[in-house]
Structure 1
């Protein structure tokens, strides 16, 4: 277990990074109290299990893991899995470390401080990278997708869940990220990053402020 810091951060952090970090630090301790977050993470995990070959002893990286709700929901499908959970929020990493300590996440699960927008890609390699509702916060999207490709061995899979294009109502007025994504654009960017067999399909929805926001899952294989 234990937290690793992979390389020095690029201190050209913009205000969006800092604002997001404060938000997630502040909400980490109560994140799992929202039953819709648990439900929606289960939908994403079920979609991944239905579309990605999950073999024994798979090396999994959950990027921007939050409290690892998607990974937790995936665990019944992953015998003898080697788990690494990465998040740039110190509050989220504290919650993750607590879940390892209590056995909610299998030991030894590694907890990483990792931001592929600003840090070098780690030298470790994985069989599956998952990320859920993270990329709409990412500015350097192509850099992060290329980082996913580098983190995977040939034949490894990426599974990206995120919001479909929305009208900007999902976040508050000072949100500086993406208002969801066009599915064809996501598929094109994954192909550019080095993924083949890319498909995009429904993966449930997020319920927020009395509205349902559709979620897609894009999967691709590292060439």
Structure 2
């Protein structure tokens, strides 16, 4: 059986009959999915660049299609297909993360893609999963060598500092929404957001957040 082409996979992602798509995409992206850094060695940058050129078009197309398709699918009763497409979404994000170091993209582009995934989970009423994703992104952004500070000094420049602050604020607001939506099911949901105190805990961070928050939230 011939391996699926990029165009056939994109067509299947857009089709109402997308069953079995995860296995097909997983097989197609295997060269990227298997490329994991270890403590002893990191993937060859030349190989990563080669794989990025090969798969980036598919990843970008998939990450454009899935956020639009999943909320619509969540309104149907096809929970199996919804779960399968979410697995495809996560796989594409992980593969994008693998090649991110070789891409000429804006700072935190992968993290913003994960934020979009978080919003998608939220729109599908998968609030617990959205919380896990959001907290995971915040944890990735931790800078332990900055004496407890997660956020950079905006006024001192530094590429992408405002983007970083915007990203963190958006995640924090989404986490509160998710906790609020789940409150009827579990009163302890807001306690999960207390975990933000372990991440956004310095006066420095709080002062910057206040400066970049939308007026309605400041």
- Place the TM-score, normalised by the shorter chain, in its bin: under 0.3
Give 1 or 2: higher strand fraction.
1
What TM-score do the two structures reach when normalised by structure 2? 0.23
Give 1 or 2: higher helix fraction.
2
What TM-score do the two structures reach when normalised by structure 1? 0.23
Does 1 or 2 have the higher relative contact order (CA < 8 Å, sep 6+)? 1
